[in-house]
Structures are given as structure tokens and as C-alpha cells.
């Protein structure tokens, strides 16, 4: 690739990585399982993009961003790793090996950018105090583009400029045992993501489902989709049983409030602006700037004839805000309903707006992180990655369509329902037991799928074999391999032991994922050196 092509590709990668901050509504299109094939298609090697993207997805599978914590960046790690694999002539092992360190370096830049954003945030707050909404919006977008350039574009273009001229020569100069060790490590690395997810899904309580999935994949040779459908059937049976028990305890429904001043056109504007709600993330007020930017059209209409009330509402909504991005729209709807009540009722206690928002943020963040990010997204990431690792282009489609449906559907549905129902919607959600039932069902499917993927995609083969009949002029040599003996007794024993061991390390050791990552390469290189692998 020439320099111009690298710059253009780097801009595209940075744009893709900004999806959750800017333009996509947090559909996670930049995850390796989806973005890897896109990069492969652009660079003319779809198969490498599919396989490399799927394998890198498994490495990053359990990395969940919660609150101020951000795991190594799978977006840039996955896309740059895939691009480097293609640049180096299809060396998938190299791309997978480089993805995690690249993601770690990029995530360090996240902390830098989130602090630098304070410059733009303070300017935005100053502008809003003077009712200069256009200036406020300008500084909001300055935060967005600062992240695009500093966190995503610069490291990408540097990595690809270096990679296009150095990576292939470097790879070719490596000793044979290092190259073979990278191949062994590539087979082990997906276990890191699977082990991370076992902790999220609660394998201690759900281990029977994990065992069933593993046995079905190892002994009956069922594919991942068949096991996922079986898990879905089990989850449906459990959900039905729980629903029948809960029907008698259903909370009384409350009527919706009368139609408000905001129509669907107004709500659509807020919906699309909410895509940038995380764009000005900083370590002072977190997502407060993006939150206010999202609801400004609603506040303008609600306080159309009350400039003083409008200014107070603008200032009030620059307070600290942080929750799961999908549930942010629910809180926006509730807040706008309360702002409207404030505009109509002189006796309304305005402190209820801030206190309600503060009361909802934490619980909804916990539900969103566990249900949407830790369960739903992970489940479809794992299934999609399984197909992608086989070079099947259906993989990214299986992943992205449910993500788009959930992200856009929940954002729009929460916003509209919350505005029309006000705080009553939260009461309904709490009383319906919907999220708990979803978590339980997704846990069943997730554990069975992760077990099947352990059997299918974690790979470690023992090399030792012994000749017990020597070759003669009339007979061929006969030998027995250690791996063959293990497979005859307990197929896929090593992969499942690796995943369980990594799970235990992550459970017991602080920073366990990094120990697992480093240990993978040490074991791979040493094992190749001594002839074990």
C-alpha cells in the first residue's frame, strides 16, 4: 500500500471506531467480527478479514467497558490487526498476536483524550451559561473530533505506515520456533475471551449448561448453531415457567399521561442526536455534555415561551451523567416529561428532575451493562465469530443485524415510551421481571455456545508420538500419538482445561487477563522449543 492509501484506510478505520461516540447509536459495528471482514473487503482479501476478525473477536470477547473503566480497544486492535495480517501476505497469526497489544496502547490514549476533553467541556459549559447553544454544540463536536484524530487516526496511520514496510521483513526474519510458537498461541488465544465470558455469565451456577454444550460439540459433533438453538429452546421453557408464576403477582398498570408538546418529529431529532451522547466523555461530568446536546430540541420546544426557564433547564442538564447508552434515552424521556411538567406547573419541585435522573443512572447502568453488553452482545459476537473463523460471510451478518435491532429499537422505544409514560415506565419495567428473565435465558444459551466454541475454536495439539513397530522392507512403521490417545478418551480435553484454567486465573488474580495473555505466548514458545507442541 502506498502512503495515500494508508492515510485513507486509517481515516476510514478511525471513522468506524467512532461509531459508538458519534454516528451509529452504539451498534458496535467496529467490533472485530464485523469490522475485520469490512477491512478485508476493502483490501481485497475477504477471507483473511473474516478469519482474522473472527479470531480477534474471540480474544476480545469478554472485554466489557463499564463506568470509567475501558478494556483494551477491540475496535482499533481488530481492524489494524486484520490490516497488518493482509499487508504481511495473509499471516493471520501475526495479526491476531498484534491485535491485543495495539488495543491496549490505543486504550491508554482513551484516558489521555478523556482528560484533554476537559478543555472543550469547560468551553461548552461556559457557552451554555450564556445561552450560546451553537457554540456549545461546536465544542461538543470538538471533543468528538479530538478523539477521532488522537485516539484512533494517529495510532492507526503510524501502525500501518510502519507495518507496510517493516512488518513483513520482521516476520520473515523471525526464528522458526517463534513463527511456530505464534501459530500455537493463535490457537490458544480465543480461550481468553471465552474465559472472560464464563465469569460474566456465572458459570459456577450454570456449569451444567456449559457441560452439556461441551459434550454435544465434542462427542455428538453438533455445530454451534444447533447447540445455540437447543439452548434457546431450554431458555424458552424456563421463561414460560417463570412467566406463569409471575402472572399472579403482576403489578397494577398505571395509565399514561396525556399527550405532551413533543411530537414524533421532535423525538426523532432527539433520537438521532443521542447517538453522540458519549462523544464528549470526560472525567469531570462524564457524558453530561452529550446528554444535554441530545435533548436541546425538546427543551427548546417545551420552554418556547419561557426564556428564563429554558436557560435554567440548560444549566440544570449539564450536571454529571453516566449510564448505559441505550438506557440514556429512557432517562432523557423521563427528564423531558418532568421538564414539561415544570413548564406547566408553577408548584412543581424542580429538584425532582435532577434527583430522578440521578436515581435512575446507576440501576439502569447495571442492567444495561449486564443485559445488553455482557449478555446480548457477547452471545451474538460469539456465534458470529464462530462462522467468521470458518471463513463464512454469514458471521458478521448474524452479529450486526441483532445489534442494530437492539440499539436502534431500544433507544427509540425507551425515549418514546418514557416521554409518554414518564416515571411510570420505570415502575413497569421493574415489576415485569423482564430483564431478569432475559438474563437467565441468555445465560443458558451463552454457556452452551461458549462450551461449543471451546471445543471448536480453542486449539492445542500435543506433538509427541512413539513408534512401536519399526519400519521394515515389508511393513510400514506403526506409531501412537499422545494427542490421539487423549482424543480417544476425552476429545478436546486440552481446550476445555485451558479455558477453565484461564477463568480461575481471572477470578483469583488481579489483572488476570494480562497474565493469561503473557502466559499464552510463554507456553507456546517454550512448548515448541521442547517439542511438546
Containing 469, the helix (H) or strand (E) segment is strand 465-469
Residue 48, pLDDT score: 97
Q: Where are the alpha helices (DSSP H) in 458-511?
A: 482-489, 493-508
User: What is the rounded average pLDDT of the residues 207-223?
Assistant: 90
What's phi and psi for 197, nearest 5 deg? -70, -30
pLDDT tens track for 226-239: 887 888 888 888 77
Secondary structure of residue 286 in the 3-state scheme: strand
pLDDT at 358 exceeding the cut of 90 = no
Rounded distance, CA 522 to CA 526, Å?
Answer: 6
With CA atoms as reference, report the closest residue to 103 among 74, 61, 80, 60: 74
pLDDT at 254 exceeding the cut of 60 = no
User: What is the rounded average pLDDT of the residues 363-374?
Assistant: 77
Beta bridge partners of residue 481, listed in sequence order: 465
With CA atoms as reference, report the closest residue to 32 among 110, 87, 100, 93: 100
pLDDT at 43 exceeding the cut of 80 = yes
pLDDT at 251 exceeding the cut of 80 = no
Q: Which of 155-159, 218-222, 292-296, 427-431 has the lowest mean pLDDT?
A: 427-431
With beta carbons less than 8 A apart as the criterion, state whether 364 and 179 touch. Answer: no
pLDDT at 252 exceeding the cut of 90 = no
pTM for the structure as a whole: 0.79
User: What is the rounded average pLDDT of the residues 487-511?
Assistant: 90
SS3 labels along 294-332: HHHHHHHHHCCCCHHHHHHHHHHCCCCECCCHHHHHHHH
Q: For residue 391, is it left (φ>0), alpha (ψ between -120 and 50) or beta?
A: left
With CA atoms as reference, report the closest residue to 330 among 356, 299, 297: 356
Residue 438, pLDDT score: 63
| Alpha-carbon Rg for the chain in angstroms | 26
Beta bridge partners of residue 480, listed in sequence order: 466
Q: Which of 59-73, 280-294, 440-454 has the lowest mean pLDDT?
A: 59-73
Residue 272, pLDDT score: 98
Other Cβ atoms closer than 10 A to 239: 15
User: How many Cα neighbours within 13 Å face the side chain of 199?
Assistant: 20
Beta bridge partners of residue 66, listed in sequence order: 69
User: What is the rounded average pLDDT of the residues 205-228?
Assistant: 87
Q: Which of 43-57, 207-221, 280-294, 467-481 has the lowest mean pLDDT?
A: 467-481
Residue 280 pLDDT level (bands cut at 50, 70, 90): very high
User: What is the rounded average pLDDT of the residues 485-508?
Assistant: 91
Residue 238, pLDDT score: 77
Mean pLDDT, the chain, as a whole number?
Answer: 87
With CA atoms as reference, report the closest residue to 134 among 276, 293, 7, 286: 293
pLDDT at 366 exceeding the cut of 90 = no
pLDDT tens track for 389-440: 999 999 999 999 999 999 999 999 999 999 988 766 655 655 566 656 766 7
Q: Which of 3-17, 200-214, 235-249 has the lowest mean pLDDT?
A: 235-249
pLDDT at 277 exceeding the cut of 50 = yes
Other Cβ atoms closer than 10 A to 1: 17
Amino acid at each position: 500500500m502506498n502512503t495515500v492509501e494508508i492515510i485513507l484506510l486509517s481515516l476510514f478505520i478511525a471513522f468506524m471506531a467512532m461509531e459508538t461516540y458519534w454516528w451509529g447509536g452504539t451498534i458496535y459495528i467496529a467490533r472485530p467480527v464485523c469490522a475485520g471482514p469490512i477491512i478485508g473487503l476493502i483490501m481485497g482479501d475477504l477471507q483473511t478479514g473474516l478469519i482474522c476478525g473472527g479470531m480477534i473477536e474471540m480474544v476480545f470477547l469478554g472485554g466489557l467497558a463499564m463506568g470509567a473503566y475501558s478494556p483494551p480497544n477491540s475496535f482499533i486492535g481488530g481492524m489494524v490487526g486484520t490490516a497488518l495480517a493482509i499487508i504481511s501476505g495473509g499471516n493471520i497469526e501475526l495479526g491476531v498476536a498484534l491485535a491485543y497489544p495495539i488495543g491496549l496502547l490505543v486504550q491508554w490514549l482513551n484516558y489521555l483524550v478523556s482528560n484533554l476533553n476537559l478543555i472543550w467541556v469547560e468551553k461548552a459549559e461556559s457557552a451554555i451559561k450564556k445561552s450560546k447553544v451553537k457554540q456549545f454544540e461546536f465544542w461538543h463536536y470538538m471533543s468528538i473530533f479530538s478523539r477521532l484524530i488522537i485516539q484512533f487516526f494517529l495510532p492507526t496511520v503510524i501502525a500501518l505506515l510502519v507495518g507496510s514496510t517493516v512488518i513483513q521483513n520482521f516476520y520473515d526474519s523471525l526464528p522458526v520456533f517463534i513463527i511456530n510458537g505464534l501459530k500455537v498461541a493463535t490457537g490458544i488465544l480465543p480461550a481468553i475471551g471465552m474465559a472472560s465470558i464464563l465469569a460474566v455469565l456465572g458459570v459456577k451456577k450454570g456449569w451444567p449448561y456449559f457441560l452439556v454444550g461441551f459434550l454435544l460439540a465434542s462427542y455428538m459433533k453438533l455445530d454451534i448453531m444447533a447447540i445455540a438453538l437447543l439452548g434457546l429452546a431450554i431458555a424458552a421453557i424456563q421463561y414460560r415457567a417463570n412467566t406463569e408464576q409471575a402472572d399472579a403477582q403482576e403489578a397494577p398498570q398505571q395509565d399514561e399521561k396525556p399527550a405532551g408538546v413533543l411530537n414524533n418529529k421532535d423525538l426523532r431529532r432527539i433520537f438521532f442526536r443521542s447517538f453522540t451522547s458519549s462523544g464528549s466523555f470526560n472525567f469531570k461530568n462524564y457524558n453530561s455534555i452529550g446528554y444535554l446536546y441530545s435533548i436541546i430540541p425538546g427543551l427548546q420546544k417545551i420552554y418556547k415561551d419561557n426564556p428564563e426557564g429554558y436557560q435554567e433547564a440548560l444549566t440544570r442538564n449539564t450536571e454529571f451523567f453516566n449510564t448505559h447508552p441505550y438506557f440514556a434515552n429512557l432517562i432523557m424521556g423521563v427528564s423531558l416529561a418532568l421538564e414539561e411538567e415544570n413548564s406547566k406547573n408553577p408548584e412543581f419541585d424542580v429538584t425532582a428532575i435532577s434527583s430522578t435522573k440521578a436515581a435512575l443512572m446507576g440501576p439502569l447502568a447495571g442492567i444495561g451493562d449486564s443485559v445488553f453488553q455482557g449478555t446480548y452482545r457477547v452471545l451474538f459476537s460469539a456465534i458470529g465469530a464462530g462462522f467468521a473463523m470458518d471463513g463464512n460471510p454469514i458471521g458478521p451478518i448474524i452479529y450486526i443485524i441483532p445489534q442494530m435491532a437492539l440499539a436502534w429499537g431500544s433507544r427509540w422505544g425507551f425515549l418514546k415510551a418514557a416521554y409518554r409514560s414518564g416515571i411510570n415506565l420505570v415502575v413497569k419495567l421493574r415489576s415485569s421481571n423482564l430483564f431478569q428473565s432475559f438474563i437467565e435465558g441468555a445465560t443458558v444459551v451463552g454457556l452452551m455456545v461458549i462450551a461449543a466454541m471451546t471445543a471448536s475454536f480453542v486449539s492445542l495439539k500435543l506433538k509427541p508420538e512413539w513408534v512401536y513397530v519399526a519400519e521394515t522392507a515389508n511393513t510400514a512403521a506403526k506409531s501412537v500419538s499422545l494427542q490421539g490417545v487423549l482424543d480417544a478418551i476425552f476429545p478436546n480435553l486440552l481446550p476445555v482445561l485451558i479455558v477453565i484454567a484461564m477463568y480461575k486465573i481471572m477470578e483469583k488474580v488481579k489483572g488476570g487477563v494480562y497474565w493469561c495473555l503473557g502466559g499464552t505466548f510463554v507456553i507456546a514458545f517454550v512448548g515448541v522449543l521442547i517439542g511438546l507442541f
